[in-house]
Chain A
Amino acid sequence: MTAEAERLSIRSVSKSFGPVRAVRNVSFSIEACTIHALVGENGAGKSTLVKMITGMLPPDSGEILLDGRVCKFFTPLDARRSGITAVYQDPKLFPHLDVSENIFMGFQPRNMFGLVTKRRMYTETERMLGELGVEIDPRALLAGRSVAEIQFVEIIRAMCADLRLLILDEPTASLTPAEADRLFAVANSVKQRGVSVLFISHRLDEVRRIADQVTVMRDGECIVTAPAADMTEADMVRHMVGRELTSFFVRRESRAAGAVKFEVKNLSLPGMFENVSMSVRAGEIVGLAGLVGAGRTEIAESIFGIRPPKSGTVVIGGVELKPSSPRQMLRKGVAYIPENRDDNGLIVELSIACNICLAVLDRLGPWGFIGRSSESRFAKPFADDFEIKTPSLDALAGSLSGGNRQKVVLAKWLGSEPKVFILDEPTHGIDVGTKSQVHQRVSKLAEAGYPVVLISSDLPEILAMSDRILVVASGRIVAEFSRAEATQEKVMMAASRSPLLVGAGEERP
């Protein structure tokens, strides 16, 4: 097998979701027996590309060749049978079964009567574990194994078949540094056996350490493919964020901020985030930047009481308290607009008016009875103010477009007279035109004197909107930039550090 042999070759592949062009005309190849890293910001199109390689999504155009043959997969199983296996962040395994059964399910070793022979299964598993240099008890139930061990089990299962390409999707996101080292050792030994590895990671130092080749994606396009030795971390960051900043968003005018209205003091939830502190002034937008999985949503949910923190307090309206339930924090005036608005923020089966009134139901009518008319009367000014485009307030919320849905969610919270807004990815999955409308709304909230915490993975958005930017990585606030200081490169560099460098290099428990 020559080093130049192309294992997987991606040719002009494109994929759109409605108006969003997730992957545009991407071409690159993965050579045999190499570790090929794929890096890019959140939303750069990496996962969409992986889904197309593994048959979970069909490409709109272009083709994917495995060992020179065009492959058309309709299910991940097709891809597996051809030798392409992806190890995802959420394990596709059976928690109630033991380790070796998880590896052999579907093709267990059988005796002459067609019965499963567990003993052979265990010895086989032990042999394979040994070859990869991993120590796991084959008889132990999978539940209770660490994330790293679960990944090893998936890798070994993949290697039972004729594995040609192993895709590791953000494998180190939840590993300790020691576990990550073990994973890299395993990845290298997989490579030694003639398997190509596609390694997707946000942690650029790791990419430098183990990858032979690097492909950088940005906004759905393949920017560059080069040997890892030729690229520094700074180069990668430059390629990842190297776009014109002003192209999409109008940069918000920053205004002199008022007094501190909202504070978070030393909030900790072990395993999720630690020692998070921030203060937000009236009329100030504080951006929480970071990569998916850094812990930003967890912090927000903690402030809102969905995941009560282990320690730390929140100061709101001059009262210092420890969040313990959403009901409590709602009453104190925290408006949290979650990431997935269709699941958590909006009831699509109810009317628009109904949705706007949800947070204030008990104030609407006498003795808790709510009439249609009082609902509409209450909702009308908010709907007008937010310019929700709909023929009627009685229309179902589900009939609205993404941007208008987001407006309904904002209007709903405004009705409850909150003291602080926490917005989690408010423009996720919305087209560019509507995005700027949502941005205007958010700016207006700040102008009205509300303190706003904005969580966004969209770098240009967060740079344009925020007065201050806090960067979260591995559950800690690792950097703070003022509006003047912040650049895409600086924020990205801070966000993509691995936990080794975060804090004093201590291992997280």
Chain B
Amino acid sequence: MIANTNSALARRISTTLSRNTLRLRVFSVLLSLAAMLAVFALTTTNFLTLQNLKVIAFNASLLTMVACGESIVVITRNLDVSVGSIIGFSGFITAMFAAAHPHAGPLIIVVAVGIGFVLGLVNGTIVAYGRVPSIVATLGTLSIFRGFTYIVGKGVELPSSYLPRWMTNGAEATVLGVPFVVLVALLVVLAMAFISRRFPIMRRVYAVGSNPGAAVFYGLRANRVVLFAYAACGALVGFAAFFYISRVGTISVILGHDWELMALASVVLGGVATTGGSGSIIGVLFGALMLSTIDNGLVLAHAQEYWRMFIQGFAIVGAIALDAGIERRIMAIFRNQRV
């Protein structure tokens, strides 16, 4: 009798586990974020102030948008290391456009998103139809996009005073004390989370990443799905670039330099499997928050600036190693079940 209830309990636990694997992963990210907040709150004096938390949220908001785009690509089992250059390209050209046409209004946003979208299409075409390994392809476009920005910019810098007033004001604006940009980022996350669950195309993104070989048998055109992922990523990054240029004091050609690494770190910390097929947008949000918290906390803890990159890289490798372990277990269960 006892054995019976035990096995019933065991079954219920295993059912819960197998239904909620992904939620558990996100939960673990949330837990480590909380732990990190606790550590910084205890070790530094002014970490847990409203002002500082606002700074963290503000910093995390742009990163979140970029990481959301990156995550779509990573879920298809590919990488996009050119997102930093897309920010630079889209941001700089958009700034030039805005400076030349100060009354263009919302068209400026369309320009930013459009440029990102086109650059994403370029990446996607090379990867999906050129059959170039994604890391190589986007490493190439990283250089091409940045190089083009240099050529166009000729080393010139644009002060943000050239931009329409509504853009720079918008960057500073708050709604009920919450920075406007933070609200936008939250909206993007919520929309993406919804889309990733309910839109057929996003389900295909997950399927292709999970098992590209099986996708053929399902009649899914993996090429198109990968192209879509890159284009969507590019569009999101372009959108983020619009907010980026509204915020920085000087728009230079090195805008967004190094962001590919931060975006990738957020995605990985957020529990998106680099082996594809698995990951949630909410996790990515927590990943971006975590990275911003580390950055901010290190400054407050008077750690030297030199440590930042070291710790960021450490977090990426650690998270990937952890996920690889989890993935191996999943695949072991899935494949070698000849028991």
Q: Which residues of A contact B (CB under 8 A)?
A: 75-77, 80-81, 90-98, 101, 105-106, 108, 110, 114-116, 118, 137, 139-144, 146-147, 150, 173-174, 176, 270-272, 293, 508-509
Please tell me if the beta carbons of A137 and B19 are within 8 angstroms of each other in the complex: yes
Least CB distance from A473 to B in Å reads: 14
Q: Does B218 contact A (CB under 8 A)?
A: yes
Cross-chain contact of B216 among A76, A96, A141, A173 (Cβ < 8 A): A76
Q: Does B112 contact A (CB under 8 A)?
A: no
Cross-chain contact of B217 among A76, A101, A141, A143 (Cβ < 8 A): A76
Q: Interface segment, B39-47, B152-160, B317-325, B327-335?
A: B327-335
Q: Which residues of B contact A105 (CB under 8 A)?
A: 203-204, 207, 218, 220
Please tell me if the beta carbons of B210 and A95 are within 8 angstroms of each other in the complex: yes
Q: Does B18 contact A (CB under 8 A)?
A: yes
Q: Which residues of A contact B15 (CB under 8 A)?
A: 137, 140
Chain B 184-226 interface mask (CB, 8 Å, partner A; 1/0): 0000000000000111100110110111011011111000000
Please tell me if the beta carbons of B337 and A92 are within 8 angstroms of each other in the complex: no
How far apart sit A174 and B334, CA to CA, in the bound complex (Å)?
13
Least CB distance from B300 to A in Å reads: 38
Cross-chain contact of A92 among B198, B214, B273, B277 (Cβ < 8 A): B214
How far apart sit A151 and B184, CA to CA, in the bound complex (Å)?
45
Name B's interface SS.
Answer: helix
Q: Which residues of A contact B18 (CB under 8 A)?
A: 137, 140-141, 144
Least CB distance from A86 to B in Å reads: 9
- If A101-B203, A105-B203 touch, whether A94 touches B277 (CB-CB below 8 Å) is yes
How far apart sit A462 and B273, CA to CA, in the bound complex (Å)?
46
Q: Does B266 contact A (CB under 8 A)?
A: no
Q: Does B338 contact A (CB under 8 A)?
A: yes
Give 20 pairs: A residue, B residue, CB < 8 Å, sorted on A: A76-B216, A77-B219, A90-B335, A91-B214, A93-B211, A94-B211, A95-B277, A106-B204, A116-B200, A142-B334, A143-B330, A143-B331, A144-B333, A144-B334, A174-B337, A174-B339, A271-B339, A272-B338, A293-B338, A509-B339
Q: Which residues of B contact A142 (CB under 8 A)?
A: 334
**Pairs A-B, 8 closest by C-beta atoms:** A174-B338, A96-B277, A94-B210, A140-B18, A92-B214, A96-B210, A115-B198, A96-B278
Cross-chain contact of A95 among B198, B217, B330, B336 (Cβ < 8 A): B330
Least CB distance from A132 to B in Å reads: 20
Please tell me if the beta carbons of B200 and A114 are within 8 angstroms of each other in the complex: yes
Q: Does B21 contact A (CB under 8 A)?
A: yes
Least CB distance from A306 to B in Å reads: 14
Least CB distance from B273 to A in Å reads: 8
* Residues of B28-47 contacting chain A, CB below 8 A: none
**Which of A95, A108, A174 is packed against the most chain B CB atoms within 10 Å?**
A95
Q: Which residues of A contact B338 (CB under 8 A)?
A: 147, 173-174, 271-272, 293
Q: Which residues of B contact A92 (CB under 8 A)?
A: 211, 213-214, 217-218
Least CB distance from A308 to B in Å reads: 15
Q: Nearest residue in B to A139 (C-beta to C-beta)? A: B19
Please tell me if the beta carbons of A116 and B333 are within 8 angstroms of each other in the complex: no
Q: Nearest residue in B to A114 (C-beta to C-beta)? A: B200
- If A76-B217, A96-B278, A141-B19 touch, whether A108 touches B203 (CB-CB below 8 Å) is yes
Least CB distance from B45 to A in Å reads: 44
Least CB distance from A185 to B in Å reads: 20
Q: Nearest residue in B to A115 (C-beta to C-beta)? A: B198
How far apart sit A447 and B226, CA to CA, in the bound complex (Å)?
58
Please tell me if the beta carbons of B200 and A94 are within 8 angstroms of each other in the complex: no
Q: Nearest residue in B to A271 (C-beta to C-beta)? A: B339
How far apart sit A105 and B222, CA to CA, in the bound complex (Å)?
13
Please tell me if the beta carbons of B216 and A77 are within 8 angstroms of each other in the complex: yes
Please tell me if the beta carbons of B203 and A141 are within 8 angstroms of each other in the complex: no
* Residues of B88-111 contacting chain A, CB below 8 A: none
How far apart sit A77 and B200, CA to CA, in the bound complex (Å)?
20
Q: Which residues of B contact A98 (CB under 8 A)?
A: 19
Q: Nearest residue in A to B275 (C-beta to C-beta)? A: A96
Cross-chain contact of B333 among A76, A91, A143, A509 (Cβ < 8 A): A143
